[in-house]
Amino acid sequence: MALTKCEKNEQGQFVLEFSVEKSVFEAAVDKEYRKEVKNMTIAGFRKGKAPRSVIERMYGKGVFYEGAFNAILPGAYSAALEESKLQVVGQPEFDVVSCDENGVVFSATVYVKPEVEIKDYFGIEATKEIAPVTDEEIDNEIFAVRNRNSRETEVVDRAAENGDTATIDFEGFTDGTPFEGGKGTDYPLELGSGSFIPGFEEQIVGHNVGDTFDVNVTFPTEYHAEELAGKEAVFKVTVKSLKKIELPELDDEFVKDVSEFDTVDAYRADWKAKLEKRHESAANAAFEDQIMKALMDRLVAEIPEPMFVEETENFVRDCDNKLRMQGLDLATYFKYTGLTLEKLREQFRPQAESQVKCRLALEKIAELENVTPTEAEIDAEFEAIATAYDMEVAKVKEIVAVDAIMADMKVKKAMELVKEKAVIVPAAPAEAAEDAAE
């Protein structure tokens, strides 16, 4: 293989031309012939025994060329790419320039990582406000634990209230006629949940087990069933049972059952410490987000579209992997959400663009500041990956290239450097009020 040309075209792409010797191509053609002839029946010859020259006379000299091209192209392209020293992004577009007595010449049209400029990346101003933990937050966390340890009991001595689960039979009518999908039997409905159309659940409140009554409602004008949208309806409803949630008392005995602590005060103090860490993490994330936006604003680069497309696909693959870990897949997810693959890509596109821009900025900063991870840091990163995936370090090193690890670590270290050099400023009054509200 020989790289014969590496030029930039008017579209900002690079065109590589690289040749493959005649002997290498001939060997690939002969190998393709031996693979395909086994399935070929030619008059006058046993199946799989026709000479190559006979087949080429019948079907043309290039009958085996496509398979030979596909066989030699990947290796030839890889060698040409290495020689060119280009950092290619996206998938190349291949073409055959010539195929003659001198061998084969291929071309590959590629996009490359852009030239990047960035200035004033030290001294970025950003806010870092850690919201105080409120008693209400602690109460909400403890309530969630009590709710998980609650039990459901029958209601026999009162009428239905919000928060109860009413088991009902119902049938809906419009203009005195039952409509499709408007009937249910033994349906458990949490009153106050808003899971039925507006006005339905409120009219069950106050009724007792055994009551049969009418519920009068109007379907929303944007209801998903167009034939019912905006229409008045009457539901015949029977309350068959009522159940309520009984929460355990918040006392020392409950605390001992659900935690390592002996008293309510100690339990609340632990929740306060956890929430303080959560608030600190949220403040750090918001701080880093401001830094990233500032870096993107300072970035000067003509970023090729394939970089955004490729990163968007990475987000889609990550989403698919997470769904599969939950026993789902994208097809099922689309069925229940009404999304499509294209809509999902549209959702991920802004994140993908931010990711690409920020990484380019940090890579340039790492280059300008000569940021390089130490061997100890690289070893620690391999250890962390091995622990996360429950693998041996040696196996991780077989799968993950050290260059890839170093590239990621340079980006992380560059971000840490920029954050260290950032200037923390007070939040504007409006921002502070929003943080407190959250």
Name the pLDDT band for 48 (thresholds 50, 70, 90): confident
* Percentage of the chain exceeding pLDDT 90: 80
Counts for the chain of helices (H) and strands (E), in that order: 13, 13
Query: Domain limits of the chain?
Result: 2-112, 151-246, 264-437
Top pLDDT among 10 and 141 is at: 141
Helix axes 135-148, 264-298, angle to 10 degrees: 110
Cβ atoms of residues 250 and 264 within 8 Å: yes
Q: Using one digit for the tens of pLDDT, what is the confidence trace for 283-321?
A: 999 999 999 999 999 999 999 999 999 999 999 999 999
* Residues 239-280: tens digit of each pLDDT: 999 999 899 999 999 999 999 999 999 999 999 999 999 999
In this prediction, residue 438 has a pLDDT band, given cuts at 50, 70 and 90, of: low
- The 10 Å CB-count burial string (b at 16+, else e) for 168-178 is bebebeeeeee
Q: Mean pLDDT for the chain?
A: 92
pLDDT tens digits, residue range 130-182?
999 999 999 999 999 999 999 989 998 999 999 999 999 999 999 999 998 88
Tell me if domain 2-112 and domain 264-437 are identical in fold.
Answer: no
With a CB cutoff of 8 Å and minimum separation 6, the contacts of 331 are none
pTM of the model: 0.73
Whether the pLDDT of residue 385 is over 60: the answer is yes
Instruction: Say yes or no to pLDDT of 434 above 60.
Output: no
Over the stretch 327-380, which tens digit does the pLDDT of each residue have?
888 988 888 888 899 999 999 999 999 999 999 999 999 999 999 999 999 999
Residue 235 pairs in a beta bridge with 172, 215
The CA distance from 113 to 89, in Å, is 6
Q: Please report the pLDDT score of residue 210 as a whole number.
A: 95
Specify the CATH number of the domain 151-246: 3.10.50.40
CATH number of 2-112: 3.30.70.1050
Tell me: pLDDT of 437 over 80.
Answer: no
- The CA distance from 213 to 237, in Å, is 5
Amino acid found at 192: G
Listed residue (241, 272, 230) closest to 135, CA to CA: 272
The pLDDT score that the predictor gives to residue 200 is 95
Q: Hey, which CATH number is domain 264-437, 1.10.3470, 1.10.510, 1.20.1250, 1.10.3120?
A: 1.10.3120
pLDDT band at 430 (very low <50, low <70, confident <90, very high): low
Query: At 2, is the pLDDT very low, low, confident or very high (cuts 50, 70, 90)?
Result: confident
Question: Are 418 and 291 contacting, i.e. CB atoms less than 8 angstroms apart?
Answer: yes
Q: What is the pLDDT of residue 431?
A: 54
Tell me the CA end-to-end span of the chain in Å, nearest whole number: 62
> pLDDT (tens digit, 9 = 90+) per residue, 187-218?
999 999 988 999 999 999 999 999 999 999 99
Cβ contacts of residue 19 below 8 Å, gap of 6+? 1, 2, 4, 102, 103, 104, 105, 106
Question: What does DSSP assign to residue 172?
Answer: E
Digit-coded pLDDT (tens) for 91-100:
999 999 999 9
Fill in the DSSP letter of residue 252.
H
